[in-house]
Amino acid sequence: MDLEVALSALRDDDPTAPGVVLMATDARAGTVAATGTAVVEHSVPLAIDTRVYAASLAKLVTAACVHRLAGDGRLELDQPVAEWFPDLADGPRITVRQLLLHRSGLPEYHALRLVAGCSVDDRLEHRDVRRLVDGMSVWFEPGSRVSYNNTNFAMLAMIVADVTGESFAEAAQHLVLEPAGLVGALVKEHSDAVVARAAAGYVRDGQGYRRAVMGLASTGDGGLWWTGTDMAAFGRWLLSNPPEVAAMRERVPLPDGPLPTLATGCTTAADGSWFGGIAEFTGFAAELRVYPEHGVAIGAMTNRQDGRPGRRLDELARTLGLPEPVAAALPVRREAAAPSGTLVGAGGAPWHFRPGDETSSDAASIEVAVDSLAFRLVPTADGWQVDGMPTHTAGWEGDEFVVRDRSAEVARLSVVGGDPLPAASMSAFTGWWWCASARTALQVAQDGGELWLRRGQAPREPLRPVGARDGRWVFAAPWGLLELDRDGRRGRVVLHRAEGLELVRLVEPSSP
């Protein structure tokens, strides 16, 4: 690979900002290039031998470990996970293969921590993840659908450790990292462990960046630190197509026929032209694509969460003559129909829409707020575009409002039907609600004409009535939804990768 090919996509980057590593390789040799800063506060440059957090690309290593053990006859993919998780109520119904395919039906453990009032920055050790797993129950029938989440691969790491009798870090080292030639890679298993020669992660803060705090030490779903040189070596190993890689790439149809892009251990393009992984976590983002028909692997990783490695790989793929991503049909703008009020996605995150300022020249725009993110949609001839982000488009597909980055779907939103709960009836839903999966109690309180929610030790937050569906009142919190039965006795939490966490009323509201 020509070094100039890789460098051409990096020349315009600010060398003082958090950086990016880009690599391209064939089965014999490759090129790695880096630019920007590893530690902004001390002006430490990002180099090809700087360790960068791989985030969810660690799942590729975990899957390879599992398939290596299966190939050696030390475990079977169709074994129930109850063998390793006897306290998991649904363990007999979930298999190792379903964990690899993200079809276990178990909720996202990060979501459970969010319900409990924790932050993703809080320290988390293996015993904490194990405690959460043991208390889980499925929210859809195992094998019936796909829901990408970290719980599946955190469990797989625990299974690898149990089968080998080693820590997952030790097992990953001799099963995959050493055979693949990753000399600088390591798995961090304790939150207070120090990773030498590591880049710090950063998130946007106004016009600049602030350093992200990382307290996690979960492995299997993450925990891997590696260099640009390691990423290239791993790409070459994936191109060599050992039996475990072939097994990782297997795509299995769902019972009703669709063929998901999540294979038995990796992500694939919709047309099968590449396989690999996509990753993003606090302060870091990465992507790895392997094109087996072309004998090429490309990858990008960055220590800024908004570094958009996929865009860089699109540019590099075009430079190398690799297949263009499969384009989905663009959303269209219905005549005289702009989204307004609150729309929700399948994962529960509420998106709040309001018209732009009529006093400005951009009165036809739409102001959007979702969680802590705010942006503006500007009308175009065939839809809307995110202001300042020309690749992000939005529009209606039937009754759903879809936001895309090029062909990649960012969000698919729908209107919650019915009128919201009247203010006069809000007091009927105050009190304490127990979420068994998160092992925490939620408090709903009323202050004047407003409802408030408190999760664990987190500050109270507004709970906005937005409508009704399936016999339940729907309330939007900043991070998800509460759906409470009209009789005020049961309900559920709806949030990303954990759509059906059941709630039971603990304390009835006091009588006036």
**What would the pLDDT profile of 294-334 be if each residue is shown by its tens digit?**
999 999 999 998 888 888 888 888 888 888 766 555 555 55
3-state DSSP call for residue 427? helix
Mean pLDDT of 150-159: 96
Q: pLDDT tens, 363-378?
A: 688 999 887 678 889 8
**Ramachandran class of 265: left when φ > 0, alpha when ψ lies in -120 to 50, beta otherwise:** left
Mean pLDDT of 434-460: 89
Cβ atoms of 52 and 197 closer than 8 Å: no
DSSP output for 235-288? HHHHHH--HHHHHHT-----TTS---SB-SSSEE-TTSS-EEEEEEETTEEEEE
In this predicted structure, what is the pLDDT of residue 362?
A: 59
The pair phi, psi for residue 70, each rounded to 5°, is -65, -40
Q: Which of 378, 368, 506, 502 is nearest to 430 (CA)?
A: 506
The proportion of the chain whose per-residue pLDDT surpasses 70, expressed as a percent, equals 90
Q: Which residues pair with 30 in a beta bridge?
A: 25
Question: In whole angstroms, what is the distance from residue 133 CA to residue 119 CA?
Answer: 18
In this predicted structure, what is the pLDDT of residue 139?
A: 85
* Structural domains of the chain, ranges and CATH numbers in brackets: 53-287 (3.40.710.10), 341-415 (2.40.128), 423-507 (2.40.128.50)
Q: Which of 388, 387, 363, 369 is nearest to 377 (CA)?
A: 387
The pair phi, psi for residue 249, each rounded to 5°, is -85, -5
| DSSP H helices in 11-102 | 58-71, 96-100
Q: How many residues does the chain have?
A: 512
Question: In whole angstroms, what is the distance from residue 462 CA to residue 186 CA?
Answer: 42
Q: pLDDT tens, 453-480?
A: 999 888 899 998 988 988 899 998 888 8
Element (H, E) at 210: strand 208-211
Characterize 472-491 residue by residue with b for buried, 16 or more Cβ atoms within 10 angstroms of its Cβ, and e for exposed. Answer: bbbbbbbbbbbbbbeebeeb
Answer yes or no: is pLDDT of 36 > 70. yes
Q: Which amino acid is at 131?
A: R
For the record, the structure tokens of 406 come out as: 């090029």
Average pLDDT of the residues of the chain: 87
Neighbouring residues of 155: CB distance < 8 A, sequence distance ≥ 6: 81, 84, 85, 99, 104, 133, 220
Instruction: Record the pTM.
Output: 0.86
Question: In whole angstroms, what is the distance from residue 236 CA to residue 266 CA?
Answer: 16
Q: Compute how many other C-beta atoms are within 10 angstroms of the C-beta atom of residue 250.
A: 16
Mean pLDDT of 159-166: 97
Q: pLDDT tens, 97-132?
A: 999 999 999 998 888 888 888 876 677 778 888 988
In this predicted structure, what is the pLDDT of residue 431?
A: 92
The DSSP secondary-structure symbol of 26 reads -
In this predicted structure, what is the pLDDT of residue 486?
A: 92
Q: Which residues pair with 467 in a beta bridge?
A: 474
Q: pLDDT tens, 386-433?
A: 887 777 888 888 788 888 876 667 788 888 888 889 888 999 999 999
3-state DSSP call for residue 296? strand
Of 497 and 443, the structure prediction assigns the larger pLDDT to: 443
In this predicted structure, what is the pLDDT of residue 398?
A: 79
Cβ atoms of 13 and 20 closer than 8 Å: yes
**Most distant CA pair in the chain: distance in Å?**
77
Cβ atoms of 147 and 107 closer than 8 Å: no
Element (H, E) at 501: strand 498-507
Cβ atoms of 177 and 61 closer than 8 Å: yes
Q: Is 222 exposed, middle or buried (0-12, 13-18, 19+ CB in 10 A)?
A: buried
Q: pLDDT tens, 1-21?
A: 554 665 566 666 778 889 999
> Model confidence at 512, in pLDDT bands (50, 70, 90)?
very low
In this predicted structure, what is the pLDDT of residue 511?
A: 46
